[in-house]
Amino acid sequence: MRLSSVMKSVAVAALAVSTVATFSNAEARVRMKIHSAFSKNIAILGPGGHAVADAVEKMSDGEVRMKVFEPGALVPGTKYYDPVSTGSIDGAWGAPGYNVHKNLAFAFFAAVPFGPRGGEYVAWMRHGGGQELADELYGRDNIKMFVCNVIPPESSGWFRREIKSLDDLKGLKMRFYGLGAKVMEKFGVSTQLLAGGDIYPALELGSIDATEFSMPVIDKDYGFYQIAKHNYFPGWHQPASLGEMLFNMDKFNELSDGQKVMVDQACQAQTLRGFAEGEATQGPAMKFFETKGVTIHRWSDDILAEFRAAWKEVIADEIAGNEDAKKIWGSYSKFREEYKVWGQNGYLN
């Protein structure tokens, strides 16, 4: 065979191998459309989903790319559970409390009134059985859930007027999240769950009289202080709050085992990042509120005791009528009881 013929054969073979490799690489790539419940310009919550997407893309050398969309671009802000379940979107960055319309038991993966601080909460999820229970609950709807954020205590409310007694709560229309809403309803408050971006217009128009949403630095971005001048603490309803990254299970299973680990590691990193940033940024935000005429209040011990008593009634009712809630509450309570000796002795009060 002449040399030129040999070279042509080699070139053809190389091209064939290259083409096969290209097709193979293309098949290995995974592209996802991810809904975010939070606008990117909102502190901590907004950039978090983008940070996870960026980390996974870099760790996978571009083999896994997640495009994160603003609220409303794919689906309305809090209405992402069913679209993820059916696969009409690949995933979502949000908060488990937005899923309570499906099953109140999801609230236990979001925030629990008079519950644990961030460290204890994540400990239960990752090492006390919480994640396994979440996998079971979400898995029924073809969803994979990752704890992907944890934030420190929240403000427990923005009010137009000072709340001098629990009687002042009667008749108020208030945006409220998770299990804490059930407590507020015990005191005559009419609660509704609104996405962050919908709260300010509702306050401005008078559709609601008061709201809680998140930590001071996040509430600052939403501008609640411009309308409601009385901000109450502590966040008894959300001593710590978890965030989630959800994936349609079929789409998630397109990932290799290694890529799935990358997602998990990116979420663990974001959980630490979100908690640290949350702790670092609240003081300046609260000082800012004071310059804008906001009065910062702390609930009296008597009022907190009333909230706690109402919470005990709420949780008794909820687990009596929901087997999933009862099972999750049992795991959560068992872990907290075992943790108690450490929690009470390991830290300064």
Nearest Cα residue to 96 out of 156, 149, 154: 149
Whole-number pLDDT of residue 5: 52
* Nearest residue to 95 (alpha-carbon basis) of 11, 27, 195: 195
* pLDDT of amino acid 178: 86
Yes or no: say if 225 and 34 are a contact pair by the CB < 8 Å rule.
no
- Dihedral through CA 42, CA 79, CA 333, CA 317, nearest 10? 130
Enter the tokens of residue 325.
């809630």
Single pTM value for the model: 0.88
Closest CA to 111 of 249, 298, 236: 236
Q: Rounded mean pLDDT of 310-322? A: 95
Number of neighbours of residue 200 by Cβ within 10 angstroms: 17
Q: Quick check: 246 pLDDT over 50?
A: yes
Q: Please state the rounded mean pLDDT for residues 36-44.
A: 95
b or e along 57-95 (b: 16 or more beta carbons within 10 Å of the residue's beta carbon)? bebbeebbebebbbbeebbebbbbbebbbeeebbbbbbb
Q: Which of 13-17, 107-111, 323-327 has the lowest mean pLDDT?
A: 13-17
What does the alpha-carbon distance between residue 198 and residue 201 come to, in Å, rounded to a whole number? 6
Segment 276-289, tens digit of pLDDT: 999 999 999 999 99
Whether the CB-CB separation of 175 and 211 falls below 8 Å is answered with yes
Residue with tokens 């998990």: 264
Query: What is the residue whose two structure tokens read 């009385």?
Result: 230
Q: Quick check: 122 and 66 in contact, CB under 8 A?
A: no
Kindly report the three-state secondary structure assignment for every residue of 33-71: EEEECCCCCCCCHHHHHHHHHHHHHHHCCCCEEEEEECC
CATH superfamily of 31-153+239-281: Bacterial extracellular solute-binding protein, family 7 (3.40.190.170)
Average per-residue pLDDT for the chain? 92
Task: For residue 110, give every residue at least 6 positions away whose Cβ sits within 8 Å of its Cβ, in sequence order, or none.
Answer: 95, 96, 97, 177, 178, 241, 242
pLDDT, average across residues 164-170: 96
Report the Cα 129 to chain-centroid distance in Å. Answer: 19
Residue 165 has a CB neighbour count (10 Å cut-off) of 11
User: Rounded to the nearest 5 degrees, what angle is found at the Cα of 14, between the Cα atoms of 9 and 18?
Assistant: 150
What are the sequence ranges of the domains in the chain? 31-153+239-281, 157-237+282-346
Q: Residue 7 has what pLDDT?
A: 45
pLDDT of residue 16: 44
Fold topology of 157-237+282-346 = D-Maltodextrin-Binding Protein; domain 2 (3.40.190)
Average pLDDT over residues 263-290: 97
- Taking 70 as the threshold, does the pLDDT of residue 14 lie above it? no
- 90 confidence band (pLDDT: 50, 70, 90): very high
Do 31-153+239-281 and 157-237+282-346 show the same overall fold?
A: yes
Rounded to the nearest 10 degrees, what angle do helices 130-139 and 118-127 cross at? 70
